[in-house]
Amino acid sequence: LKSVSGNTLVAQTSEPMDAAALRALAQTLAQDPRVEYAEVDERVFPHFVPNDPFYAAQQGYLQSPFAQGGGANLPNAWGRSVRGVPVSGAGVTVAVLDSGYRPHVDLVANIVAGYDFVSQDGFGDFFTANDGDGRDADAQDPGDWNTRSEQCDVDNSSWHGTHAAGVIAAVGNNNTGVIGIAYRAKILPVRVLGVCGGYTSDTAAGLQWAAGLAVPGIPANANPAKVINLSFGRSGACSQTYQNAMQAVINAGVVVVVSTGNDASTTDITQPSNCQGVIAVTAHTSAGANTDYANVGAGTTISAQGNNIYSLNNTGTTVPGADSYSALRGTSFSAPQVAGVAALLAQIKPGISPAEVKAHLTSSARPYLAGTYCVGRPECGAGLLDAFKAVYTLLQSQGVANAAPLMAALPQQYVLPGGALQFTARATDADGDGAAFIATGIPNGATFDAVTGVFNWPKAQPAGDYTVVIQPTDGATLGASVSVKIAVTTAIPVQPVVPEVPPTPIQPNPPTPPLTLTPIASSGGGGGALGWIDIAAGLLLVTGAAWARRAAVPQKLRS
C-alpha cells in the first residue's frame, strides 16, 4: 500500500480482520526468515488537554495519579472516543438534586429544564423554599442563607447545587473557567434543598421525577436522567420512603450516586447513601488517603477526592451575585465526580444498567495508598475512582478499536549461569501519562527500573527457571501484565538457519501459529515483541532486508 523506509512496507489485507486474526497473521509473517518483524499499522490518537484556564492549576482532582495521587485520571478517559465522539458524556442527562442552579456562564449551555420541588413548610410558611412559593418549574437557586439560629447554623448562601453541577458538567474546552468530568452531558437541575436543607418528601418526589417517573400534581419530566446525583443526607438507617423511591428509580435503569456524609464516622454512612442499590461515595485526600471528615461504613462503594474541589460558584452572600469560581471540600463534591464518570460510561453504552456501572467503577478502582487507614477495610469501598480505567475496560468490552492491551509480549529469555541478562519491558502509552511499571518475581541479584522498564541481571545464578511479571503502574487494562520466562541454563536452544525458499501462501484467516522465539545473543539480550493490535486495522508493517542478512549467519541465535 505504501512505504515507510527502504526496508519497511505497508501491506493491506484483502478483507477486514479482527484483532486476533491480525495478530495471527503478523506472527505468521514474522516467522518467514526474510522478515525481520511484522506488526499492525495502528492508529494513534491525540492526547486531550482541555484549554479551560483553571484546569491545570486548580483541578488537580481530575488529573492523572502521576500528577496527583488521588486524581480521578480524566485526561486519559477524555482522549478516547466512541462512535466518532469524544468520551465526554455527550447524549447523557445527569440530574442534580440539590439547592438548584445559577445560570453560570460556564454551565448554562448544558442546562435542561428542571423543577423546583421545595414545598411549603406548613400553614403557608415558605421558610425552606426562600422563594415565596412551593413547587414550580423554576429550579434556579434563590440563595439558602440563614439568619435563624434555632433552625440551623447561621450562614451565607452556599450555591451548593451550582458547585456540584459544575463538577459534573461545566462546559469544557471552551477557553473559560473549569471543565466538568462529563463536559458535554446535560444537567437536569432538581431543586430539593433550601434554607437549612430539605425534606425527605421533597427529595424522594424529586428523585422519582428526575428518573421520568410520575409524581402526582407535577408535569411529566421531558428530560429523564440516566444518572442522578444526591449530595445530601441525614443520620439513621435508610427510611422506607427513600428505599421505595430508590428501588423504583433503579428498576427504571437509572444510576443513583450519593455522598456518604462528613461526620468523621468510621462505622456509619448517612441515608440515603445507605439505601440498597445506590453508589455511595466517600472522600479521599489529594494523596489518596481517606479524609479525616468523610464517613465510611457498611454500604460504601468507592472514594473520590474531597479536598480543594474547584468548581462554579457565585459571589452573592445572600441573594445571587456574579458568577465566580471557588474550591470547596466534602463528600458532597466527591459524589459528583463519580456521577460524572457514570455519565461517561452511559455514553459508551447507552443501555448500561446501574449494576453494570457499579461493577465497572468498583473493578477499576485504584487501591488506597499503602499505610493509610482504609487499606484492607471493606467498609471504605473498592478504592479510589479511576475514570480512565473504568472507561477503558468498558470500551474494551464493547470492542472499540482504541481500547487495546498496553503491554507488549516478551519472548523467553535465556542466559548462561553467571552471565549477564538485560531486556526492556515496553508498553504502548495509550493513557498518555508516561511509561511506568511494577515487577514481581525479580530474582536475587537482579534489578528492575520502574521508569525505564529495564530488567538487569549482571550475574545470573543459580541455574533454573524464573518468571517475572511486569505491568503498568496505572493498571490500564485488566490483564495488561506480561509474564517473562527466564531460563538460566547451559542448554540454550539454537534455531537452525532456514534456507531462503518461497514462503507458504498465507490463508485469509490463518489460525494463530505456535511462535518460537530465542534471544539475539547468548548473553541474554531480550527478543522482539508484538505490540497491541488495533481491532480491524487491516494494515501490516513488514520489514525484511535486515532479517534476511541476519538469517544468513550460521549458528547465530535470533529473536
Give the sheet arrangement for strand 37-40, strand by strand: 2-3, 8-12, 539-543, 37-40
**Grid coordinates in use for 30?**
514474522
Going from the C-alpha of 486 to that of each of 191, 334, 444, 457, 522, the distances in angstroms are 63, 45, 13, 11, 13
- Residues 6+ positions from 447 with CB-CB distance below 8 Å: 455, 456, 457
Nearest partner of 23 among 518, 517, 531, 429, judged by Cα: 531
R_g of the chain computed on alpha carbons = 28
CB 396 within 8 A of CB 284: no
Q: Distance (Å, rounded) from C-alpha 281 to C-alpha 250?
A: 17
The answer, yes or no, to whether the previous bond of 46 is cis (omega within 30 of 0) is no
CB 47 within 8 A of CB 75: yes
What length is written for the chain? 559
To 10 degrees, what angle do helices 335-348 and 354-363 make? Answer: 110
Q: Distance (Å, rounded) from C-alpha 204 to C-alpha 213?
A: 11
Q: Which of 81, 99, 158, 332 is catalytic?
A: 332
In 357-510, where do the E strands start and end?
Answer: 413-415, 421-424, 437-440, 447-448, 454-457, 464-472, 482-488
In 334-491, where do the E strands start and end?
Answer: 413-415, 421-424, 437-440, 447-448, 454-457, 464-472, 482-488
Q: Give catalytic status of residue 311 as yes or no.
A: no
Residue type, 241: T
Q: Give catalytic status of residue 160 as yes or no.
A: yes
Q: Is 513 left (phi over 0), alpha (psi -120 to 50) or beta?
A: beta
Q: State the maximum Cα–Cα separation within the chain, in Å, rounded to a whole number.
A: 99
Q: Give catalytic status of residue 360 as yes or no.
A: no
Element (H, E) at 540: strand 539-543
Q: Distance (Å, rounded) from C-alpha 95 to C-alpha 209?
A: 10
Q: Which of 41, 106, 157, 160 is catalytic?
A: 160
- 101 backbone dihedrals φ, ψ, rounded to 5°: -140, 160
CB 492 within 8 A of CB 421: no
Nearest partner of 185 among 302, 53, 350, judged by Cα: 350
Q: Which of 52, 98, 131, 433 is catalytic?
A: 98
Q: Distance (Å, rounded) from C-alpha 105 to C-alpha 94?
A: 19
Nearest partner of 458 among 426, 518, 424, 415, judged by Cα: 415
Tell me the catalytic residues. Answer: 98, 160, 332
